[in-house]
Amino acid sequence: MIPRYNRPNIEKIWSLENKFKIWTEIECLISEKQALLGIIPKKAAKDIRKKAKFKVKEIEKIEKDTKHDVVAYINNVSKYIGDSSKYFHFGVTSSDIIDTSFSIQLKQTSEIIRKNLLDCIKILKIKSKKYKNTIMIGRSHGIHAEPITFGLKLSSFYFEFKRNLNRLDQAINEISVCAISGPVGTFNSVDPRIQDYVAKKLKLNSEDISSQIIPRDRHAYFFSVLGILASSIERFSVEIRNLQKTEVLEVEENFSKYQKGSSAMPHKRNPVLSENLTGMSRYIRSAVIPSLENIVVWHERDISHSSVERIMAPDITIATDFALTRLKGIIKNLKVYPKNMKKNLNMLGGLHNTHNIMLKLIEKGLERGIAYKIVQDSAMKTWNNHKEFSEVLTKNKELNKFLTIKDIKMIINDSKNLKNIDWIFKNKIK
């Protein structure tokens, strides 16, 4: 990932230093259990635990000749272990180490992503309650429909991100697996109890049947969950972008003192953070298809998935972390303009009340089709002539047979449109 979108805490997880550190711990645990089972001498396990170390630059130099990173790593570590090195990496394969390490790295990054997601959820809950009664127009197809509140709008994102949290927890569990099963997954050269031991020590689940690699449906599920999360991030971002349009301006991203919106037009205050998240979301979702394709490998093992994961996993998790961090800041610092919301609500002269008028006519005994036509006639006159809807209604002779001026005034009441908002928040947002 380019430095612009990197955060040090998650970048470190994908460093070669951290990867080889994890590899070393896995190898030490394997040796420990092998010694306990009498497979290798106890002294060898102690030597491996005490002396096993590596140097990244040395491994990279060795790999230029071996063309195999695990072999290069083994050669480097063995140099420091000495005589007991013949029992290092005893009976296991590269996949045992790489795949189990990959699980740990994904788990480590997921914990950071989860915390950021949880922070977003908490802020959304606070903001939802704060703007519970802040009335605004609800839009259908981008067109004015009926009133809602900004708090209700935010609450839809609150619950959406809660669902994302549940999916992420499931995905973390899905990829938190250990596989130490040897060549082609038969446990022929490695005792099955070693896998369970290593898994327990590393706080991972022990894989059921792994062939020679951990089945990639697990990872496909993980990256698909990140893809869904990215779409939720984009949905929020697009909402902000639309509501920040000059002619709408119901909300606005925070604009700092020395910030510049345009190199050419000094007046510009652009929703650049939300636009950035739209792009980041597209990139995160790009991992879904490759992760699905990685499920398919030849027989018990090939490495067709490997290059994809080496590029994709760091970049996509780093991008997700960045996106959630930025989203958190947008939500927290969002400027809300209730006056503009009220102004936009009344832009069409009260046309957002058409449904309530129609329902009242039906209650009075009219057929739905007839009631619809009567209200639509008045609505179109309001729309075309820029009149107040209530004024037009009072001059509709057909409608006046069923509704008095008093009835109309009682129906055209925005507070009644939102009579159940308190119930929603009391029963749903606890």
262 belongs to the catalytic site = yes
| Residue of 15, 68, 189, 262 marked active site | 262
Instruction: For domain 3-87, give the CATH number.
Output: 1.10.275.10
Closest CA to 125 of 336, 335, 427, 425: 425
Please say whether the beta carbons of 288 and 221 come within 8 A: no
Show the low-confidence residues of the chain (pLDDT under 70): none
Residue reference for tokens 């990173």? 69
Rounded-to-integer distance, Cα 163 and Cα 179, Å: 30
For the chain, give the longest Cα–Cα distance. 103
Tell me: the pLDDT tens digits for 45-91? 999 999 999 999 999 999 999 999 999 999 999 999 999 999 999 99
Burial of 183 (0-12, 13-18, 19+ CB in 10 A): middle
Residue spans of the domains in the chain: they are: 3-87, 94-344, 351-411
Instruction: Give 237-298 as a 3 state SS string.
Output: HHHHHHHCCCCCCCEECCCCCCCCCCCCCCCCCCCHHHHHHHHHHHHHHCCHHHHHHCCCCC
| Residue of 141, 267, 299, 386 marked active site | 141
CA angle 268, 272, 275 (to 5 degrees): 135
Look at the alpha carbons of 292, 295, 298, 301 in this order and tell me if their dihedral is positive or negative. positive
Task: Report the relative pairing of strands 335-336 and 251-252 from DSSP bridges.
Answer: antiparallel
Please say whether the beta carbons of 253 and 334 come within 8 A: yes
Rounded-to-integer distance, Cα 140 and Cα 147, Å: 11
* CA-atom Rg of the chain in angstroms: 31
How many CB atoms lie under 10 A from the CB of residue 121?
A: 20
3-class secondary-structure state, position 135? strand
| Beta bridge pairs of residue 252 | 335
Amino acid at 149: T
Residue reference for tokens 């922070």? 119
Instruction: For domain 94-344, give the CATH number.
Output: 1.20.200.10
Domain 351-411 CATH assignment equals 3.40.1390.10: no
Asked, colleague to colleague, whether 94-344 and 351-411 share their fold, the answer is no
3-class secondary-structure state, position 302? coil
